[in-house]
């Protein structure tokens, strides 16, 4: 009984601290918006215990940093990851025109509409993309990459939601593509004349929440 009481007290303290931290981040970004202060990079390392913890909150923060023309965005999870990934709206995320480097960790990218129209994708200056433990649809991923002609480095690690990668447009600056422990069966690259490194690693890992990678690469189609 004593241990259970201590655990409850500790849990309540953590919840209180977590909520206070969310308010600090929110108030800080609101102050930057209100006082028109510049932001060049935004890196947030936080643990969301469930979806309701951050319902709409991170999207609000992304709206603010989009106004500030941020070039570097990192959203990472700290501590033990919950099974449920928190959600980000693709319309919000892909509208940051100034974005050059994007790193997402343990989240789910959602589309507000059935199809994400290319005119909604503004991050044409994106050069480095890292997705770690991210759920994203194949169509959203293809739309994003196809609208980023400056992309140089792409890394997918423990991602789900898509079974193939299709880069149907010319990627003149792509130097490296890294695929680690994703259930990817096909990779199609039409034109990437500067591609120097393509790494595909398929291993069973206890860290992977889907129970391990079962799909092996069966097709690699490369143009130039």
Can you tell me the distance from the alpha carbon of 194 to that of 5, in angstroms, rounded to the nearest whole number? 60
Q: Are residues 199 and 159 in the same domain?
A: yes
Cβ 108 vs Cβ 140: under 8 Å = no
- Helix then strand then coil, in percent of the chain rounded to 5, is 30, 30, 40
- Residue 122 C-beta-side C-alpha neighbours within 13 Å: 14
Find all residues with CB under 8 Å of 137, minimum gap 6, and list them: 109, 111, 161, 162
Burial of 2 per CB tally in 10 Å (0-12, 13-18, 19+): exposed
Number of domains in the chain: 2
Domain of residue 144 covers 38-222
Same domain for 54 and 145: yes
164 in the same domain as 110: yes
Looking at the structure, do residues 46 and 150 belong to the same domain, yes or no?
A: yes
* Residues 19 and 111 reside in one and the same domain: no
- Strand ranges in 11-93 using DSSP code E only, listed in sequence order: 41-46, 72-77, 86-89
Backbone φ/ψ region at 5: left (φ over 0), alpha (ψ -120 to 50), beta:
alpha
Positive or negative: CA dihedral 179, 96, 92, 39: positive
In what helix (H) or strand (E) does residue 70 lie, and over which residues does it extend? none
Tell whether 33 is covered by a domain.
no
Taking the model in full, what pTM does it have? 0.82
**Domain CATH code at residue 147:** 3.80.10
Q: Are residues 134 and 209 in the same domain?
A: yes
The sign one gets for the Cα dihedral 157, 161, 165, 167 is: negative
Do 50 and 142 fall into the same domain? yes
Give the per-residue pLDDT at 4: 62
Tokens linked to 216: 């092996």
Would you write out the chain's pLDDT as a tens digit for each of its 224 residues?
A: 555 645 554 555 555 566 788 888 889 999 999 999 999 999 988 766 555 556 678 888 888 988 888 999 998 876 555 556 778 888 778 888 889 999 998 888 877 654 455 666 778 899 999 999 999 988 888 888 888 889 999 999 999 998 899 888 889 999 999 999 988 888 999 889 999 999 998 865 544 444 444 567 888 888 87
């Amino acid at each position: 009984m004593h241990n259970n009481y201590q655990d409850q007290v500790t849990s309540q303290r953590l919840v209180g601290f977590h909520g206070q931290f969310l308010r600090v981040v929110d108030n800080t970004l609101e102050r930057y918006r209100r006082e028109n202060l510049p932001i060049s990079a935004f890196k947030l390392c936080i643990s969301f215990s469930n979806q309701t913890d951050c319902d709409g909150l991170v999207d609000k923060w992304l709206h603010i940093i989009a106004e500030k023309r941020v070039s570097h965005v990192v959203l990472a999870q700290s501590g033990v990851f919950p099974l449920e990934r928190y959600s980000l709206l693709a319309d919000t995320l892909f509208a940051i025109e100034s974005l050059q480097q994007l790193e997402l960790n343990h989240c789910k990218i959602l589309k507000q509409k059935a199809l994400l129209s290319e005119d909604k994708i503004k991050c044409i200056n994106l050069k480095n993309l890292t997705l770690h433990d991210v759920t994203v649809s194949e169509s959203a991923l293809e739309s994003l990459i196809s609208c980023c002609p400056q992309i140089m480095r792409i890394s997918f690690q423990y991602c789900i939601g898509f079974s193939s990668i299709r880069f149907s447009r010319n990627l003149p600056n792509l130097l490296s593509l890294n695929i680690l422990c994703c259930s990817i069966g096909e990779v199609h690259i039409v034109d990437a004349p500067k591609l120097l490194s393509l790494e595909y690693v398929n291993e069973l890992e206890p860290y992977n929440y889907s129970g391990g990678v079962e799909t092996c690469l069966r097709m690699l189609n490369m143009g130039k």
